[in-house]
Amino acid sequence: MLHNLAMSAHRFLQSDDRNVIAMHCKGGKGRTGTAVCAHLVQHWKLSAAQALLAYENARTTGWSVGSSEGSQGVTGASQIRYVHYYERILREGRERELDSPPTRKLTAIRLEHPPVVPASEAGQWLVWCKAECNYRELFRTVAQPLPVDDAKVLLAEFQRSTFVGTTHRVVEVAGDMFFSFFLHRAKRGTAATAAASEETDELLAEVWIHTSFAGDNADASGAACTTLQRHELEVKLKSLPIPDDV
């Protein structure tokens, strides 16, 4: 969609010097900015970083340009990542992948250095994940207790884990992946998975990833993985402190 919009704007502007385009979303900032930056990358041949800064400069008055506080540019972590994705797609001549994205096998989801749980509330806070691909829900993991210490939470390992509603052995994905992480606070004496629901649980973080760029890193065993730091996630949680290196 992003490429189609950028190409449509490019063709329209090239067809007549008098042509003007206008883009807007509900807030006129994040989604609009992502589309405008894609246009700047495609039509004006700017880098992703140049496009993001140009957009922020053009619509920022009275704020400190380049600062996250009060910034009127694109600030959504996934939106920024997708502008960089788009630059790489064009630079590397991989436009074909936009229509036929590569398929990846999703083998595990790990949350490292999760929110800090007070010792007095050990076992009460549970975390679970909902995974979607191209706006279609794939699965939800079983809610698992957050550790009191600074540890790793294995939300899903597909060879072994049982998921809500079904059991997966191999999960293949292609295109846009969307992961939502939720916190469920269980009442004392209730089952660990009792009443976990996105309608009632607190949203911890969200993230979009495209399979064209998944697996750019490797874990300790050498397996391909995608590792994201806190600033690369849309962090929403307010009820518990979150380590900077989550």
Q: pLDDT value at position 243?
A: 66
Q: Which residues contact 153 (CB under 8 A, 6 or more apart)?
A: 110, 111, 112, 114, 127, 144, 146, 147
Measured CA to CA, the distance from residue 55 to residue 78 in angstroms comes to 17
What 8-state DSSP symbol labels residue 154? E
The 10s digit of each residue's pLDDT in 184-209 is 887 765 555 555 688 889 999 999 99
Rounded to whole angstroms, the maximal C-alpha distance in the chain is 70
Q: pLDDT value at position 246?
A: 64
Q: pLDDT value at position 165?
A: 47
Stretches where the chain sits below pLDDT 70 are 61-71, 150, 158-169, 188-196, 218-222, 241, 243-246
Q: pLDDT value at position 144?
A: 84
Question: Which pTM value belongs to this model?
Answer: 0.83
Q: pLDDT value at position 145?
A: 84
